[in-house]
Chains A and B, each alone.
Chain A
């Protein structure tokens, strides 16, 4: 069964530090990987997507992909209390453009 795994947390990080969120996936056929942020009671919003090995940076966020290890990560630099949320990792599937979702990691940024 195709899976995406994340540590549920909570991950507690002091304000201003780097938060590192990790995700592994089982399907080697997955091509694109997504990080979504979800605040409590709200729907997910896209933070970043990545499909090439290596790093992709967007502001304070950096996504990292290692296809050989089937590993995706999200780094958040200069963490702010407003970054406190659940971060969902997702990988695409070939069939019908579905995404396989991880269970999410709860991130808490402590002032």
Chain B
């Protein structure tokens, strides 16, 4: 149980375009979802926390107008990278919390490798 599906796995886009990444909880309701970014050989960096039906809470230094997060349902959250630039190239990972599972409640998606050319 507690599967999180993340799509796409990888994407290449041109500079200036927008990219949408989807994160779905397949067998549970994810009241809280987290979006992380990870650069090569670095640890996870939390970008934002989203709760279903409310605005996302962004970490300091993360531009909310550039990284649009929508968590409109209990099973789907999306991250849209708007006007992407090469420096946005990174590994983006979502994580969802299944409140039924207590300490096991944090499940990661498989990640999306974004390359902006």
Interface membership of B108, Cβ < 8 A: yes
**Contact indicator B111/A42 (Cβ below 8 Å):** yes
Partner of A45, one of B46, B91, B108: B108
Given A32-B103, A43-B93, A49-B103, check contact A98 B108 (CB 8 Å).
no
Interface membership of B75, Cβ < 8 A: no
With both beta carbons as reference points, the residue of chain A lying nearest to B42 in the complex is identified as A103
Report the minimum CB–CB distance from B28 to chain A (whole Å): 14
Report the minimum CB–CB distance from B43 to chain A (whole Å): 4
Given A97-B32, A101-B43, A101-B44, check contact A43 B103 (CB 8 Å).
no
Partner of A103, one of B43, B91, B107, B111: B43
Q: How large is the interface on B (under 10, 10 to 19, 20 to 34, 35 or more residues)?
A: 20 to 34
Question: In the assembled complex, which residues on chain B have CB atoms less than 8 Å from the CB atom of A97?
Answer: 32, 97, 105
User: How many A-B Cβ pairs are below 8 Å?
Assistant: 45
Given A96-B32, A97-B97, A98-B46, check contact A51 B103 (CB 8 Å).
yes
- How many angstroms from the CA of A102 to the CA of B57 in the assembled complex? 21
**Contact indicator A46/B107 (Cβ below 8 Å):** yes
Interface membership of A72, Cβ < 8 A: no
With both beta carbons as reference points, the residue of chain A lying nearest to B109 in the complex is identified as A43
Question: In the assembled complex, which residues on chain A have CB atoms less than 8 Å from the CB atom of B67?
Answer: none
**Contact indicator A96/B103 (Cβ below 8 Å):** no
Q: How large is the interface on A (under 10, 10 to 19, 20 to 34, 35 or more residues)?
A: 20 to 34
Report the minimum CB–CB distance from A90 to chain B (whole Å): 8
Report the minimum CB–CB distance from B35 to chain A (whole Å): 12
Question: In the assembled complex, which residues on chain B have CB atoms less than 8 Å from the CB atom of A36?
Answer: 108
Question: In the assembled complex, which residues on chain A have CB atoms less than 8 Å from the CB atom of B25?
Answer: none
Interface membership of A34, Cβ < 8 A: yes
List which A12-34 residues lie within 8 A (CB) of chain B. Answer: 32, 34
**Contact indicator A104/B110 (Cβ below 8 Å):** no
Interface membership of A88, Cβ < 8 A: yes
- Counting from the closest, the 9 A-B pairs by CB-CB distance are A43-B111, A49-B103, A103-B43, A43-B108, A43-B93, A32-B103, A101-B44, A104-B43, A96-B49
Give the interface of B toward A (CB within 8 A). 6, 32, 34, 42-44, 46, 49, 51, 57, 91, 93, 97, 103-111, 113
